[in-house]
Amino acid sequence: MSDQRPSTASFRRDLDLSIEALFKALEVFQTAEEAKEIERLEKQNAILRHKVRVCRKSWYLAVNLLYESFNVMLSLHNAIRECNRVERMANKDWLAFWGINAEPSQHTKYKLMGWI
């Protein structure tokens, strides 16, 4: 059996090929890492878009609830005002029926949001 060692030139060529192969492997690895990072960022972006949609929907519903609540408050205000007006007229008619002519006191007058 002969003990042959590769020549130095041959060894360098193999070494150069190994370094080139290492660089190519590094490029493939970096590309794979970049692809993984892009995939991770795309998933995160999708999650954030979903959260934005949920927040927008919640905001829309909150604004709509506020609008509806305000309309209900106005309806209640108008109903109470009308009720007070009719009650004052009924009291005046009732007192007139008994021959009493008196104006109701001002402290019974309803004020919109007077509790604030």
Buried b (16+ CB within 10 A) or exposed e, 69-91: eeeeeeeeeeeeeeeeeeeeeee
Single-letter residue type at 69? S
Phi, psi of 95 (to 5 degrees): -65, -40
Determine the pLDDT at residue 107.
56
| Residue 30 in tokens | 């970096």
Determine the pLDDT at residue 15.
55
Residue with tokens 């007139």: 96
Phi, psi of 83 (to 5 degrees): -60, -45
Q: Which residue has the higher pLDDT, 40 or 109?
A: 40
For 5-63, the pLDDT digits (tens) are 555 555 555 555 677 777 777 777 778 888 889 899 999 999 999 999 999 999 999 99
Which residues have C-beta within 8 Å of that of residue 112, sequence separation ≥ 6?
77, 81
Domain ranges of the chain: 21-108
Residue with tokens 């009719």: 86
Determine the pLDDT at residue 35.
84
For 63-108, the pLDDT digits (tens) are 999 999 999 999 999 999 999 999 999 999 999 899 888 765 655 5
CA–CA separation, 77 and 87 (whole Å): 15
